[in-house]
Amino acid sequence: MPRFEECLQRLEKIVEELEKADVPLEKSLTLFEEGVALSNSCRKELEEAEGKVEILLKSNGKLQVQPFEPSADK
């Protein structure tokens, strides 16, 4: 799975490509589908990071790290 930063860079390139007026419909659809998949991957990574941050904040100032288990329904 690509890293978060790589996903964002690829998403930027996809947006630039889609903004061009001469992109054929079939290529636009392919780029759009790739963009959606990358966006979902980025969202999942952000949600996992947010969960880790919440665990640290809930420790009341203690520097105790607890493992984060992302729920399967996301």
The class of domain 4-57 in CATH terms is mainly alpha
**Is the full-model pTM beyond 0.75?**
no
Torsion of CA 15, 51, 68, 57, to 10 degrees: 140
Q: From the first residue on, what is the mean pLDDT of each consecutive set of 10 residues in the chain (74 residues)?
A: 83 94 92 95 87 66 61 55
Residue 34: predicted pLDDT: 96
Is residue 31 within 8 Å of residue 17, measured between CB atoms? yes
Helix 4-19 and helix 25-57, axial crossing angle in degrees, nearest 10: 150
Is residue 40 within 8 Å of residue 61, measured between CB atoms? no
Is residue 54 within 8 Å of residue 71, measured between CB atoms? no
Q: Where are the domains of the chain?
A: 4-57
Residue 74: predicted pLDDT: 47
Rounded Cα distance, 10 and 22, in Å? 20
